[in-house]
Amino acid sequence: MVVYGRKRLRYMRKSELALGAFLIMLVCGASIFILHSTRRDQAIAANADIYKQLDLFGEVLERVRSEYVERPDDTKLIENAINGMLQGLDPHSSYLTPKEFQDMQVQTRGEFGGLGIEVTMEDGVVKVIAPIDNTPADRAGVLAGDYITHLDGDSIQGLSLNEAVEKMRGPVDSPIMLTIIRKGVAAPMQTKVVRDIIRINPVKYSAEDDVGWIKIKTFQSEHTYEYMKQAVEDLKKTIGPKLKGYVVDLRNNPGGLLDQAIAVSDAFLDKGAIVLTKGRNAAESSRANAKPGDITEGKPVVVLINGGSASASEIVAGALQDHKRANVIGTRSFGKGSVQTMIPLGANGGLRLTTARYYTPAGRSIQATGISPDYMVEPELPPEMKAQMTAFAPKGEASLRGHLKNDSAPEATGSVSYVPKEKEKDVQLKAAIELLHGKKPETAKKLENAAAPATPAVPVPN
């Protein structure tokens, strides 16, 4: 009896459990059905709303096409509409036409088929600023100060600088005939130049006695890290055992590729986070970590920034500052703390879309607030610029219409981006060299806790 009763009880419990599980499934299924039904209804309502808006857009488009005072270009109308939509999001999202997208890819690769000359436009013709060493133009004898008036016999008059440059670029090994006017030479010269691969070097460097100065002009080229690494190796050989350290000059560097900023930061770090990105979706959120190995072998580093240092350059400055790997000297940076993703649209060009915010290793968002230097050093402005500064205050990300807001730190205006051409007048560079020699810069104002936010904007995983 007892055994039977136990069996029956066990069977009853199994039945009750099965019935309970069935009822729970029914409830869950009903809940899921209601949830899915609600979401479907919401999606249908949202779609219906956007279709109404598209109907409005179509109506306005037809009105413009049929009634505008001049016949508009249909392609231009659509491009402008797309750009208006993207620019309404934030200042850094935009549509790129097929030509603009192609130019962006050339800029990113940092190499193209061309002549190898830095040029400007003067009096309607192209003036050579300087030929780049060991390039087709240099080998063909083109000199700084030459004026190029014709390309393959066609006059440059009436062309913009970009149009003239586009004509000088072309397939590798293809020839072009330049008509050159040179000071001191009576008749125009005909010079044949054969195009070759031209690499844009985004890095300048020099030995300042026992200090290595490395100027990174942009992170737009995918070869930035390679050139920076080569600069470090060359400076080691040039300066030798007396090398005190390095000045990494990021002033007026507008940024560029995120992976290049990470690689340059990693070059000076052995471990720890470099940058954190946080997007709307998990796919846009990530953490980049430093790998073992410091190419400077632990030599002291000073980073120079100013109001023209933005985006990728702020990532480098913030990473080295947070890890106390470098002292940062100069003025507050621009404050662009967002990441843009390039989305190809096939034959229709491309989309530059803001997809994430980035944070320094300490969890700081520098969006619309910038990187504050450890030592504030203002540049010495020439008199004519001082007069301009009274009328036009420095501008940063916070001054851009439609910029993303920073909910974790107060917004701040930008700073002066002036850098003198003569190094002997560059007080910020002098201050960096003094610091590497163990002296507190005379012109510097020490800012306390520049790298330590009271509350990190995002949690930093170990």
Q: How many Å apart are CA 172 and CA 114, to the nearest integer?
A: 7
> DSSP H helical segments within 211-342, as ranges?
224-239, 258-266, 312-322
- Residue 311 known to be catalytic: yes
**Residue whose C-alpha is closest to residue 155's, from 182, 127, 121, 178:** 178
Distances in Å between the Cα of 164 and the Cα atoms of 6, 126, 154, 178 are 96, 8, 11, 12
Distances in Å between the Cα of 257 and the Cα atoms of 333, 365, 398 are 18, 18, 22
Catalytic residue among 94, 265, 309, 311: 311
- CA angle 311/269/305 to nearest 5° reads 35
Catalytic residue among 90, 146, 266, 322: 322
> Left if phi > 0, otherwise alpha if psi is -120 to 50, otherwise beta: which for 154?
beta
- Residue 336 known to be catalytic: yes
Q: How many Å apart are CA 179 and CA 202, to the nearest integer?
A: 29
Sign of CA dihedral 260, 291, 303, 371: positive
> DSSP H helical segments within 68-124, as ranges?
74-87, 98-109
**Residue whose C-alpha is closest to residue 370's, from 351, 395, 397, 352:** 397
The separation between the first and the last C-alpha atoms of the chain, rounded to the nearest angstrom, is 62
Q: Contact at 8 Å (CB) between 71 and 89?
A: no
Catalytic residue among 215, 217, 336, 430: 336
Distances in Å between the Cα of 315 and the Cα atoms of 32, 225, 381, 387, 408 are 44, 14, 27, 33, 17
Give the helix/strand (H/E) hosting 326: strand 326-330
Q: How many Å apart are CA 43 and CA 36, to the nearest integer?
A: 10
Sign of CA dihedral 440, 442, 443, 446: positive
CB atoms within 10 A of CB 270: 13
Tell me the pairing of strands 326-330 and 375-376.
parallel
Catalytic residue annotation? 311, 322, 336
